[in-house]
């Protein structure tokens, strides 16, 4: 689940089709079976039961005002190749819904076909996709890398003891996005950077978890 940059920025976020990321699988490198990360599957880092929700604060450099958005899991259905989930924002945005598919390989963004998280989850794991667009045709690349796994992280005033961070670099949208997930919570932070600008690596937008509500009573927090 990678929310798009707010329209206040010069260009919209990651996605040409729906939301999140653009995909056309080209390569899946071999991955080592790290015993420390076995069993750390996607559902633990992104609980997608119908009724679950996450509320985020969206902030941009130079602005004292932050916006609030809440994402709700509105649909959960079984498909031939996995389980489909639709996640909708409130208030409604141009992003429409996030369409996600949980498969044996990981968590896939349906409109693009890109895997946002892959199994097994291993630090430094990398995968990428390539596609051609335009006239004359130009090749673009979207790459993913697990920056860390099973590591402590802090977001706002919350401390999480088991986090996963995935970096996405998108040549077409000129964006680098780092998404941090917390085990048994979901996405807790998105940080957006421009690939080519004079910002010295400073974020152009940050999205941080404020509160969340999971269907299971013993996991519910606000």
Identify the pLDDT of residue 62.
Answer: 84
Query: What does the alpha-carbon distance between residue 167 and residue 146 come to, in Å, rounded to a whole number?
Result: 6
Asked if residues 59 and 9 have their Cβ atoms less than 8 Å apart, the reply is no
Asked if residue 178 lies in contact with residue 167, where contact means CB atoms within 8 angstroms, the answer is yes
Tens of each residue's pLDDT in the chain, 222 residues = 566 654 433 333 334 333 333 333 333 343 444 433 344 567 899 999 999 999 999 999 888 889 999 999 999 999 999 999 999 998 776 656 799 999 999 999 999 999 999 999 999 999 999 988 888 888 999 999 999 999 999 999 999 999 999 999 999 999 999 999 999 999 999 999 998 875 567 899 999 999 999 986 445 555
Supply the pTM of this predicted model: 0.79
- Domain residue spans of the chain: 25-213
d(CA 72, CA 6): 18
* Cα separation values, 79 from 100, 103, 116, 119, Å: 11, 10, 19, 19
- How far lies 99's CA from each of 11, 151, 193, 197, in Å? 22, 28, 24, 31
How crowded is the C-beta side of 118, counted as CA atoms within 13 Å? 21
CB–CB of 196/60 below 8 Å?
no
Q: Are 116 and 133 in contact (CB under 8 A)?
A: no
Closest CA to 150 of 187, 129, 127, 181: 181
Structure token pair of residue 96: 């429409």
Q: How far is CA 125 from the centre of its chain?
A: 16
Q: Which CATH architecture fits 25-213?
A: Beta Barrel (2.40)
């Amino acid at each position: 689940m990678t929310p798009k940059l707010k329209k206040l920025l010069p260009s919209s976020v990651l996605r040409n089709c729906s939301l999140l990321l653009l995909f056309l699988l080209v390569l899946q490198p071999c991955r080592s079976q790290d015993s420390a990360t076995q069993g750390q599957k996607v559902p633990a880092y992104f609980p997608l039961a119908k009724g679950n929700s996450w509320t985020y604060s969206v902030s941009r450099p130079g602005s004292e005002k932050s916006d609030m958005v809440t994402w709700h899991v509105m649909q959960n259905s079984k498909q031939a190749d996995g389980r489909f989930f639709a996640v909708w924002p409130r208030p409604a945005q141009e992003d429409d819904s996030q369409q996600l598919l949980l498969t044996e390989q990981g968590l896939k963004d349906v409109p693009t076909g890109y895997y946002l998280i892959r199994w097994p989850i291993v630090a430094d794991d990398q995968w990428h996709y390539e596609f051609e667009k335009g006239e004359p045709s130009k090749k673009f690349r979207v790459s993913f890398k697990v920056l860390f796994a099973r590591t402590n992280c802090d977001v706002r005033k919350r401390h999480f003891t088991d986090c996963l961070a995935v970096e996405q670099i998108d040549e077409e949208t000129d964006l680098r996005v780092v998404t941090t997930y917390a085990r048994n919570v979901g996405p807790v932070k998105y940080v957006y950077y421009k690939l080519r600008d004079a910002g010295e690596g400073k974020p152009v937008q940050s999205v941080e978890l404020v509160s969340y509500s999971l269907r299971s009573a013993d996991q519910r927090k606000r």
